[in-house]
């Protein structure tokens, strides 16, 4: 890992000198594992291989101790207690367990759930499944900046509302919702508040008590840990949240999630949380500077580009930009030595424009021209400059082939191109 000071001192020379290709800038899809996390995990692949549920010998005891240490590490990152942490296979399972488990446990109290249109599919598809079994779901709209209106949330609540599920930070546009205000409103109304904090945990401060969060999902592989492991925070008091288990067989994790624990992955998750908690202030500042540098470089050389979502309320490493009059697939092919995304990793197989960008009011053409840059712990200033130079060059070349761009330069009004309508 290159020290921040060294990273910032690398000169911008407009070439790939000092840069190893390909460059990875898709850290919202997944992050490379930090070597320190792998080092912590290694003994649990070989020497300490016991089942954490085996309480009759030292192999099991050692594994259980490692799990409980990791539980403490995860809890410290979000201001919780260790007994409030349930280990899962990842955020998708955590979201399913939270939403389905609450819907089942509290069905005698009500059947109304509130979420928003830009949630991750792990939440949206879960809610759609629950609608088929009798739940009523309200999908809140978002403004052009990607934020919900608190007044919309207030109006949507009624005496049958049992759960509000609003993500902490969006996986495509990086917009951070007013989580503390949402939590305060839910607490006043006696409604449980779940947040998908996969993109936020480890990147921005999260405090479940100060923010009145009742249930929270997170995943290791979004914070430089291993894939296949995550956690669900479930509040134990004021109020005590009850969740019906969705996987049966053994009553592990205090009866909320049965199954043999992934000890090695859990150790990695715990170590990743510790590193994020210790290094977040410096890392946040460094990533924000790199992101803003990329944005400034692009805006200085290209016209008709636009940042999608609020810049004020945003993850430090996220930049989602539309490059109008450029076809997105051609743009990605032109920068094929740079790993970026045109949307969520979970929906990249579809040719449809991003539903998140469309919810902001973007037309199909503009949404298709959008790129998500996800800067992370191991990105350098030299890489940012290389990406900026490469992108500027390919956008200019593609626009030379675009009759629409030429028409705009000649002053022809193309109202059918929904550029600034949102």
The enclosing domain of 27 has a CATH number of 3.90.1150.10
Q: Supply the pLDDT for residue 352.
A: 79
Same domain, 61 and 200: yes
φ, ψ at 170 (rounded to 5°): -75, 140
Instruction: Tell me what the pLDDT averaged over the chain comes to.
Output: 91
At 165, which helix (H) or strand (E)?
strand 161-165
Average pLDDT (63-73) is 96
User: If you search the block for the tokens 């930009």, which residue do you land on?
Assistant: 321
Checking if the pLDDT of 3 tops 50, the result is no
Structural domain containing residue 134: 35-275
Same domain, 303 and 374: yes
Q: How many domains does the chain have?
A: 2
Same domain, 227 and 301: no
* CATH number, residue 105: 3.40.640.10
Same domain, 401 and 306: yes
Give the end of a domain, one of 228, 249, 275. 275
Same domain, 260 and 225: yes
Rounded to whole angstroms, how far apart are CA atoms 231 and 93? 9
Q: Supply the pLDDT for residue 231.
A: 98
Residues with catalytic roles: 346
Residue 420 lies in a domain: no
Q: What is the pTM of this model?
A: 0.91
Among 244, 348, 242, CA closest to 28: 348
At 218, which helix (H) or strand (E)?
strand 215-219
Same domain, 204 and 352: no
Q: How confident is the model at residue 365 (pLDDT cuts 50, 70, 90)?
A: confident
Residue 237 lies in a domain: yes
Same domain, 256 and 359: no
The secondary structure of 322-346 as a DSSP string is EETTS-HHHHHHHTTTEE-BSS-GG
Checking if the pLDDT of 346 tops 60, the result is no
Give the end of a domain, one of 240, 275, 310. 275
Residue 415 lies in a domain: no
Residue 40 lies in a domain: yes
Give the end of a domain, one of 258, 275, 292. 275
Checking if the pLDDT of 15 tops 80, the result is no
Same domain, 367 and 221: no
């Amino acid at each position: 890992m290159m020290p921040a000071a060294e990273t910032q001192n690398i000169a911008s020379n407009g070439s790939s000198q000092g840069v190893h290709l390909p460059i990875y800038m898709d850290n919202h899809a997944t992050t490379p594992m930090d070597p320190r996390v792998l080092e912590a995990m290694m003994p649990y692949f070989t020497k300490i291989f016991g089942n954490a549920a085996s309480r009759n010998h030292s192999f099991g005891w050692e594994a259980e101790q490692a799990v409980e240490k990791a539980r403490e590490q995860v809890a410290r990152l979000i201001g919780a207690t260790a007994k409030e942490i349930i280990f899962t296979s990842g955020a998708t399972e955590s979201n399913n367990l939270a939403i389905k488990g609450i819907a089942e446990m509290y069905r005698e109290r009500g059947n109304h759930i509130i979420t928003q249109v830009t949630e991750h599919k792990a939440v949206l598809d879960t809610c759609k499944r629950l609608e088929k079994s009798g739940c009523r779901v309200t999908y809140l709209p978002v403004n052009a900046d990607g934020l919900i209106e608190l007044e919309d949330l207030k109006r949507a609540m009624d005496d049958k509302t049992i759960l509000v599920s609003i993500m902490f930070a969006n996986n495509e546009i990086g917009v951070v919702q007013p989580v503390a205000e949402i939590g305060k409103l839910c607490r006043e109304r006696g409604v449980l508040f779940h947040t998908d904090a996969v993109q936020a945990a480890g990147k921005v401060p999260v405090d479940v008590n100060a923010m009145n969060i009742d249930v929270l999902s997170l995943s290791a592989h979004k914070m430089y840990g291993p894939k296949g492991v995550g956690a669900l925070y479930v509040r134990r008091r004021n109020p005590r949240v009850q969740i019906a288990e969705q996987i049966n067989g053994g009553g592990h994790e205090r009866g909320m999630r049965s199954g043999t624990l992934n000890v090695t992955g859990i150790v990695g998750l715990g170590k990743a949380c510790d590193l994020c908690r210790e290094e977040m202030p410096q890392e946040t500042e460094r990533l924000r500077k790199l992101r803003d540098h990329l944005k400034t470089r692009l805006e200085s050389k290209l016209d008709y580009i636009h940042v999608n979502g609020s810049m004020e309320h945003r993850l430090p490493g996220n930049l989602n930009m539309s490059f109008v009059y450029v076809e997105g697939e051609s743009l990605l092919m032109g920068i094929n030595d740079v790993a970026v995304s045109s949307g969520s990793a979970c929906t990249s197989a579809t040719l449809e424009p991003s539903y998140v960008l469309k919810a902001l009011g973007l037309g199909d053409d503009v949404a298709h021209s959008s790129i998500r840059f996800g800067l992370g712990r191991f990105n350098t200033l030299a890489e940012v400059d290389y990406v900026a130079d490469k992108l500027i060059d390919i956008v200019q070349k593609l626009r030379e082939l675009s009759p629409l761009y030429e028409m705009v330069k000649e002053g022809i009004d193309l109202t059918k191109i929904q550029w600034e309508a949102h």
